[in-house]
């Protein structure tokens, strides 16, 4: 088989949901799939072995942050991200576009790229599509992302149209700069909340016949109903034989709605960010382990969850760790929260394969 192949194993008869797998040089990714975020080559507070036990088949790292610290040359000398961080499975690196464009107060955009001041030391940094690809080629992830312009919400139609034009021009330059056949370059569809611009972006991005496609520029402050409308519009228009990735989305409702629209891949910092604040996600709900009701509870978070914390520790112990500021508490909650989202995706995948997804979009029963 080719180094990168997407296989659709089953579809929902009443929605656009589909189940499949994406073959990469470091393993198969079953879809739909949630990707934990390891911004600086580390999913916060977890070892690779702990992450593997959650069942996560792939993780995401950040090009922008790794370029600034420690630098792609160091990672390349170590044999690439997989060797550097000790993770044997597939890795996706985003291009840094979202991070660069979130620095609105300290960056300047032109047709060639973006200039900004490093938030680490204040030095001037120049990002271009060519550099974003060069960095990602050095990092060695299985899936790499094109450098794009992510407009904020709200933004005028004129501003978003300019971002779409620039993003599509930059994508062509990314394709030209890409040098490694063992890395799948994904294009990104921008267009804000404007259907005409999204349609235009889909047509232009798909002309390049890439290994996969992403929907960007969502979950940036727009009302959730607008985000769902964008996903329902864009996802079915993307090629059926390629994976579809919704960037930066990780709540239950958003994921299940996007899966129903035909999306395959998701990423979000929610599981570990929640854990650092003592928040547990379980069976579609979230609650705070620090609450008084848990101080004496000898029950696990979820008796049916197979994760290490649920097999070995009570809510009382986890409540104690988080209240005391013990780092182990952050680790244990992160393990559970990631396991929860990974299992959620697995349940949806199974429901699609069994033809039952449309019967229950929250398939825990």
Catalytic hit among 142, 148, 264, 267:
267
At residue 46, what are phi and psi to the nearest 5 degrees? -115, 145
Q: How far is CA 298 from CA 80, 147, 308, 333, in A?
A: 44, 49, 16, 16
Residue labelled with tokens 């620095």:
103
The pTM score is 0.96
Output helix, strand, coil percentages for the chain, rounded to the nearest 5: 40, 20, 40
Q: What is the pLDDT of residues 218-246, one digit of tens each?
A: 999 999 999 999 999 999 999 999 999 99
Residue 121 bears catalytic tag: no
Residue 94 bears catalytic tag: yes
DSSP E strands in 81-135: the ranges are 91-94, 107-109, 114-117, 124-127
Residue pLDDT tens, the chain, 365 long: 458 999 999 999 999 999 999 999 999 999 999 999 999 999 999 999 999 999 999 999 999 999 999 999 999 999 999 999 999 999 999 998 787 777 766 688 899 999 988 888 888 889 999 999 999 999 999 999 999 999 889 999 999 999 999 999 999 999 999 999 999 999 999 999 999 999 999 999 999 999 999 999 999 999 999 999 999 999 999 999 999 999 999 999 999 999 999 999 999 999 999 999 999 999 989 999 999 999 999 999 999 999 999 999 999 999 999 999 999 999 999 999 999 999 999 999 999 999 999 887 554 43
Catalytic hit among 94, 142, 148, 264:
94
Please name each of the domains of the chain with its CATH number. 9-268 (3.20.20.105), 275-334 (no CATH)
């Amino acid at each position: 088989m080719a180094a990168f192949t997407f296989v659709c194993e089953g579809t929902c008869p009443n929605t656009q949901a589909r189940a499949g797998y994406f073959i990469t040089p470091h393993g198969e990714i079953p879809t739909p799939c949630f990707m934990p975020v390891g911004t600086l080559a580390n999913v916060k507070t977890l070892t690779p072995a702990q992450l593997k036990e959650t069942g996560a088949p792939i993780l995401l790292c950040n090009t922008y942050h790794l370029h600034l610290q420690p630098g792609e040359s160091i990672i390349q000398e170590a044999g690439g991200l997989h060797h550097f961080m000790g993770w044997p499975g597939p890795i996706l690196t985003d291009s840094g576009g979202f991070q660069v464009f979130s620095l609105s107060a300290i960056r300047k955009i032109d047709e060639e790229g973006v200039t900004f001041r490093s938030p680490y030391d204040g030095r001037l940094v120049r990002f271009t599509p060519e550099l974003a690809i060069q960095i990602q080629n050095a990092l060695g992830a299985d899936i790499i992302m094109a450098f794009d312009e992510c407009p904020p919400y709200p933004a005028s139609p004129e501003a978003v149209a300019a971002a779409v034009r620039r993003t599509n021009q930059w994508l062509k330059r990314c394709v030209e700069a890409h040098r490694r056949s063992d890395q799948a370059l994904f294009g990104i569809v921008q267009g804000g909340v404007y259907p005409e611009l999204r349609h235009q972006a889909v047509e232009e991005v798909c002309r390049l016949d890439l290994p996969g496609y992403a929907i960007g520029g969502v979950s940036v402050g727009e009302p959730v109903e607008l985000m769902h409308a964008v996903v329902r519009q864009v996802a079915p228009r993307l090629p059926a034989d390629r994976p579809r990735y919704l960037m930066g989305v990780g709540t239950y409702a958003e994921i299940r709605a996007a899966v129903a629209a035909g999306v395959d891949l998701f990423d979000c910092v929610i599981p570990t960010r929640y854990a650092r604040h003592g928040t547990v996600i379980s069976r579609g709900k979230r609650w705070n382990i620090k609450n008084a009701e848990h101080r004496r509870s000898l029950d696990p978070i979820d008796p049916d969850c197979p994760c290490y914390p649920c097999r070995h520790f009570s809510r009382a112990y986890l409540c104690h760790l988080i209240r005391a500021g013990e780092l182990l508490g952050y680790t244990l909650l992160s393990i559970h929260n990631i396991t929860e989202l990974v299992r959620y995706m697995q349940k949806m995948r199974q429901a699609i394969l069994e033809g039952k997804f449309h019967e229950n979009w929250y398939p825990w029963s």
